[in-house]
Structure 1
């Protein structure tokens, strides 16, 4: 490994600090490793990561701060988690304004893949997304990019479950967490979760099992049930009520955002009762769409940046 480190450092010098390392790196912590990378715009790198937890390769977009070079750091880190069923992790960049909103932020931004309906969990029978994100990806980003221990996590919809679930299930790992239109009470909407998994071609029982027989598994992945673990943490929770609002096009119809507002309210009340420093933005009219999540990220960033010293 010492020989590899010396070679990597030499290549980095030859590249003049442009941010691109060799296409294939050495073994990562817990066995995850970068097997390919491409430059993506001025700040980005698209990584292909070989994950033992997933048993396959998976993509990750990394946005690097101004002044980043190999060997610099440690840098604060913001992890952005995507929702289900749509554009995947690049939605945050292509539709959510992540690159623009974080352009002046002195921190690394990591946008990982989480599966169409991965629910940021180790499935009972299937992918191990939580193991990949927590035990493989975080150490890998530290090794590859000089990321430090000042971390925040934010997510939309299914990613809101991921952000709050990861923060609660791994105390001390993140300094702050944010949820935008998040799925924050899964036991309150078991049928909805199971329907999403089924409609996307997977077996609902393979995720967290049967809602009754495996109740403890469901509760262990339910942010509302875990809110008591968030005492002292700054958290941000935003949601609309499903009515067409100011960021919707003319003629837009209402949607199910209002059901998520009920979940967000329950979660926020429990987190506040546990001593979390909760900021809520229940902004009224607004649908389950990207314009509201872009605005939510912009509104949440001051708190997230302050928490990680960025």
Structure 2
């Protein structure tokens, strides 16, 4: 990967901690037969100043910003949906101006589990890659699980990262950052779930959706066990997510990309998944994590095929559940995302 500015990267100790967590997760995967990205991140510094001048329809507002460089800034949003302040990192287009009469298409990039909104700029060269792309890029936080969903939460309010990302943040970006109506969404691991789930739950909102090693068939029993493991690792009672799989099955189905695949018709789609190498790969933990997602990814793309919904699909031998693979897949998926954004790739 291209070298990143120091202020955007986690310190070496944090990187070592991420690898240690990945090893611990591999032990869990042996039990659950499924896996997810394990990559804790250093939190960004506290915002320096207020930014937003307008509010979203439900009262959400930008209460502070921190500018990291000429194009990159962190927003702090007071979110009624989540019930607390939530961060999002934004990369502005090179020609962006607050006084412009035009708007810009918006690319959402979602993080995985045990990570946060800083992951894309910390782990990839996304800023350099997008430097000549006419797009406003936003990387919202989704909490420690990386699942941008409306939590069941036993009927209590709060924890609604789905509304934060798909309504509140979207409106704030339109109000304050000249965001347009053309959008694409992409994510890694549990963020891959978020990309496909939100594109399905809000048909027509996103022109393109991409998943890299995503969790795409959540009503599968093995995947449900995976989600329980992710939640337990974060100290969260599993039924807080969507309720009990048996007694709240309708809620699970309504949020499962495979069950909601018909709602993706008309959206440009990209799905990538490695076969992994298990204990015989150069990175045994990451290989096990990747291989454990192989079958459920095929279930999702087979459902798309049976519905006659086209998708660009890349299944590949080997592969590890990590950022080098996802960075490569993100760049490979750019023509699909660009088409959904109304951009040319030539």
**TM-score, reference length from structure 1:** 0.88
Q: CA deviation at 1:97?
A: 2.5
| Aligned residue number for residue 197 of structure 2 | 165
Q: Which has the higher contact order (CA 8 A, sep 6+)?
A: 2
Gaps of 5+ in 1: 1-19
Aligned mates of 1:124, 1:22 — CA distance in 2: 32
Q: Please give the residue correspondences for 1:251-262 in structure 2 after superposition, counting only pairs within 5 Å.
A: 254-262=287-295
Q: Please give the residue correspondences for 1:105-116 in structure 2 after superposition, counting only pairs within 5 Å.
A: 105-116=133-144
Alpha carbons 2:91, 2:127 under 8 Å: kept:
yes
| Aligned residue number for residue 143 of structure 1 | 175
Give the match's secondary structure for 2:287: coil
Runs of 4+ in 1 over 2 A off after TM superposition: 20-30, 248-254, 272-277
Answer yes or no: is 1:295 the counterpart of 2:328.
yes
Once the two structures are superposed, what CA deviation does each residue of 1:175-211 show, in whole Å capped at 9, x if it has no partner?
0100000000111111111111011111111111111
Aligned mates of 2:125, 2:133 — CA distance in 1: 14
| Aligned residue number for residue 22 of structure 2 | none
Which range is displaced more, 146-155 or 99-108? 99-108
| Compared CA separation, residues 251 and 117, structure 1 to 2 (3 A) | closer
| Compared CA separation, residues 179 and 111, structure 1 to 2 (3 A) | same
Aligned mates of 1:142, 1:26 — CA distance in 2: 10
Answer yes or no: is 1:217 the counterpart of 2:251.
yes
| Compared CA separation, residues 21 and 147, structure 1 to 2 (3 A) | farther
Once the two structures are superposed, what CA deviation does each residue of 1:260-296 show, in whole Å capped at 9, x if it has no partner?
1211111112123323220011121111011001111
1:195 to 220, 223, 229: 229
| Aligned residue number for residue 71 of structure 2 | 43
Alpha carbons 1:229, 1:274 under 8 Å: kept:
no
Answer yes or no: is 1:266 the counterpart of 2:294.
no
Q: CA deviation at 1:99?
A: 1.3
1:128 to 144, 156, 160: 160
Q: CA deviation at 1:106?
A: 0.1
Aligned mates of 2:59, 2:286 — CA distance in 1: 47
| Aligned residue number for residue 103 of structure 2 | 74
Once the two structures are superposed, what CA deviation does each residue of 1:233-274 show, in whole Å capped at 9, x if it has no partner?
2100001112179xx867876322112121111111212332
Gaps of 5+ in 2: 1-47
| Aligned residue number for residue 241 of structure 1 | 275
Give the alignment's Cα RMSD to 1 decimal.
2.0
1:59 to 87, 95, 116: 87
Aligned mates of 2:260, 2:283 — CA distance in 1: 39
Give the match's secondary structure for 1:31: coil
